[in-house]
Structure 1
Amino acid sequence: MAPEASYLVSLQIRGRSNITQGEESFCLEPGEIAIVDSERPFRVGFPDSVHRILAIVPREMLSQRAPWMKDARSCRKLTLSGPYSDLARRHLVHLTRGDDDLSTSEAVLMVENLCNLLTLASAREVRPNSLAPELMMQSILTFCRQHLHNPELSPSLVASHLGISVRTLQLRFQQSGKSFGRWLLECRLEACSKDLKDPFKQGDSISTIAYRWGFNDLSHFNKAFRARFAMSPSQWRLGNQISSL
């Protein structure tokens, strides 16, 4: 049973699924994705044998990225066309392979990336004039999160990948209230802090964790970490080890 406050994301692999929620009813064909609000009544029927991938994503995590989902009282089927739908399908398949030994922080990032891709794919049906800047920002953040480990990640690299100008990228970050550099630093520090708390990462040195998330200057990392968390990385790790006993 799905936990409260979540969305069910269903990727049809084989066969068909008939899904009904609210005033919406459709047949999900192979390759199509449906998003269903688990807090509202819905029905799913299978006219023949099926194979599908089902993921549960936190309602708040997806709604923050796709605010139009909050007002939707029905299930939603994502169009097959478009690069983001294809990326979302690939990501769902990858999540179910089970051949990656992910840490807690890595697993959270994978779910966040799925929510970002679902946002971009579902927003194709929303008024483009009002969502174009938001879509662009989500695309920027998705790419950045996927490349946090790259020490060469920069505004010019991101802008070049997305086919936009550096000025446009910087403007999008300004509108979000943070500069590119500040956002990137905070994300990397947060990822490092989670790895330092992860019991499965206790064998990794602090420098290994810092370099894993894109830092290439250990002195800068230590200074930035202390400024963010009011303690050194080693103190942070030790404090979390003691609290878990």
Structure 2
Amino acid sequence: MFLARFHTAEVSPELRFAAWHEMTSKALIGTVVSTDDVDDFTAAVGVLDLGAVQISVVAYPALRAARTIRLIRRSDPGRLYVTIPLRGRLGVSHLGREADVGTGHFVVIDTSRPGVVVNRRPVEHLIVEVPRSELPRSWAMGSVMARPLPVGQGTGALMVNTARQMMRSAEAYGPADGRRLATVVIDLVVVALAGHAGEDGAVRDAGQRLLQPRILDFIEKRLPDLTLSPSVVAAAHNISVRYLQLLFREQGMTVTGWIRERRLERCRRDLRDPELAGRPVHAIGARWGFPDPTAFSRAFKQAFGVSPGDYRRGHL
């Protein structure tokens, strides 16, 4: 997982358009681009690569970008672009359709098929890229491709808001977060598209898959709470404890074991933090749900093979 940002102000004026085109062709997809603003080209792009999924925010002046058969033959990533204007409008010519897409709507583009995107005024838009293979093969995608689809207040809005929040908080994610976040984004895209494609079964399946990331987030935010337990987690999500345990069992873990693992990981992080060097070891354990120093020391050593004190001395 990595985050990359680029603004044309970083290079001299005569190189800005060429640098931006090169950056976007590598980070996004290859297109033939033309603009009347070559001499005064101001644009920016931010890309969050989660592995299977990529989220981007791009802003640029009026231009025309064409995805040609020649470029597709040269490089075909087999992905869908879910594009949401945040400012301005996009004119999309794709799959024999013409779509005028503004804020409050999104449009789906197949990178394996030719198309043209035009904006006559400056625009900023969010792009969520997902592998075409992640969508059910049985779907009749023709009903959703290259059409302005309303974001609305439901799953479409959730998809957009989640993707924007991931971009804003990208620096806070660790290397291991990419895969989990990618799964969340794919499920949100599936749910958002399923309603327009008339696939109610996919909505239910994706909704079930989205439950576990919400549960994990709930646990993560409440690790210091000594009352955190399977029953508390289940009640917060309106499910039974038995069903909660089943969700975790499918991933090869238990609810209690996951809570314990995450608490110990937070303790380990604090023990190697120089700014917390003056805080007693037992206080760090108590902060993350281990009020008994002896039990904390035993659990930490069992998990990491060394006592909390020895771990701190070896990492500060």
Alignment match, 2:134: 68
Contact 1:149–1:214 (Cα < 8 Å) also in 2: yes
Contact 1:87–1:117 (Cα < 8 Å) also in 2: no
Aligned-pair CA distance for 1:161: 1.7
Cα distance between partner residues in 2 of 1:194 and 1:140: 22
Alignment match, 1:39: none
Cα distance between partner residues in 2 of 1:238 and 1:35: 53
2:122 is paired with a residue of what secondary structure? coil
Whichever structure has more helix as a proportion of its residues is 1
Cα distance between partner residues in 2 of 1:192 and 1:79: 45
1:137 pairs with 2:183: no
1:177 is paired with a residue of what secondary structure? coil
| Residue 190 of structure 1, aligned match among 265, 280, 293 | 265
Deviations 1:168-211 (A, max 9, x none): 11121222221110111112212322333344554554345434
Deviations 1:152-171 (A, max 9, x none): 22222221221111111112
Q: TM-score, normalised by structure 2?
A: 0.50
Q: Structure 2: which amino acid aligns with 1:174?
A: R
| Residue 313 of structure 2, aligned match among 221, 238, 242 | 238
Deviations 1:87-136 (A, max 9, x none): 565556556768xxx9x8x6439878855652442241382465554333
Correspondences of 1:22-37 after superposition (within 5 Å)? 29-30=102-103
Q: TM-score, normalised by structure 1?
A: 0.61
Contact 2:151–2:157 (Cα < 8 Å) also in 1: yes
Query: In structure 2, do the counterparts of structure 1 residues 93 and 207 end up closer, same or farther at CA, with 3 Å as the change threshold?
Result: farther
Correspondences of 1:60-139 after superposition (within 5 Å)? 68=134, 80-81=151-152, 86=157, 89-90=160-161, 107-108=173-174, 115=182, 117-124=184-191, 125=194, 127-128=202-203, 130-131=205-206, 133-139=208-214
Contact 1:84–1:120 (Cα < 8 Å) also in 2: no
Whichever structure has more strand as a proportion of its residues is 2
Report the number of matched residues: 223
| Structure 1 stretches lacking a partner, 5+ long | 37-41
Cα distance between partner residues in 2 of 1:145 and 1:224: 19
RMSD: 4.9
1:8 pairs with 2:50: no
Alignment match, 2:244: 169
Cα distance between partner residues in 2 of 1:202 and 1:46: 55
Equivalent pairs: percent with the same residue? 27
Cα distance between partner residues in 1 of 2:99 and 2:268: 44
| Structure 2 stretches lacking a partner, 5+ long | 1-22, 28-48, 57-83, 110-114, 138-144
Alignment match, 2:123: 50
